[in-house]
Amino acid sequence: MVRADAGVAYDGLYVGYAYRYDTILRANEGFVTGFYNLKNHIKSDTPQTYAIDIGLEGVEKHALVVAKSYRLYDSADYTVTLGAGGYLSYDTAAQDGKATGNGTIFPDSTYSLAGHADYYFTKNYLYDGWEPEASNGWGYGFHLGFEMESKKYRTQLHLVVNDLFARSRWNDLPTSLVDVETNNSHIGDDGYVEYDPTISGWEILTDHSVKITPKYHIDIQKSIGTYILEGGYEHIDFIHMPYASVAKAFDFGTLKLTYEFRFDSVGLEFNRETFGLSIFSNDLSAPSALGIGCHFRFVY
pLDDT over 70 (residue 192): no
Residues 270 and 204 in one domain: no
The mean per-residue pLDDT over the stretch 267-284 comes to 90
pLDDT over 80 (residue 109): no
Q: Could you tell me if residue 151 is inside a domain?
A: no
Residues 114 and 230 in one domain: no
The mean per-residue pLDDT over the stretch 221-233 comes to 95
Model-level pTM? 0.84
* Terminal-to-terminal C-alpha distance of the chain: 31
pLDDT over 80 (residue 276): yes
Distance of alpha carbon 15 from alpha carbon 120, whole angstroms: 32
Residues 88 and 229 in one domain: no
Q: Could you tell me if residue 156 is inside a domain?
A: no
The mean per-residue pLDDT over the stretch 131-138 comes to 87
Residues of the chain with pLDDT > 70, as a percent, come to 96
Q: pLDDT class for 184, splitting at 50, 70, 90? A: low
DSSP letter at 133? P
Domain hosting residue 248, numbered range: 225-300
Q: Could you tell me if residue 157 is inside a domain?
A: no
Residues 202 and 252 in one domain: no
Residues 82 and 134 in one domain: yes
Residues 249 and 282 in one domain: yes
Residues 116 and 232 in one domain: no
Residues 63 and 45 in one domain: yes
Other C-beta atoms lying within 10 Å of the C-beta of residue 284: 7
The mean pLDDT of the chain is 91
Q: Could you tell me if residue 137 is inside a domain?
A: yes
Give 241-259 pLDDT, tens digit per residue: 999 999 999 999 999 999 9
- Looking at the structure of the chain, the number of domains it has is 2
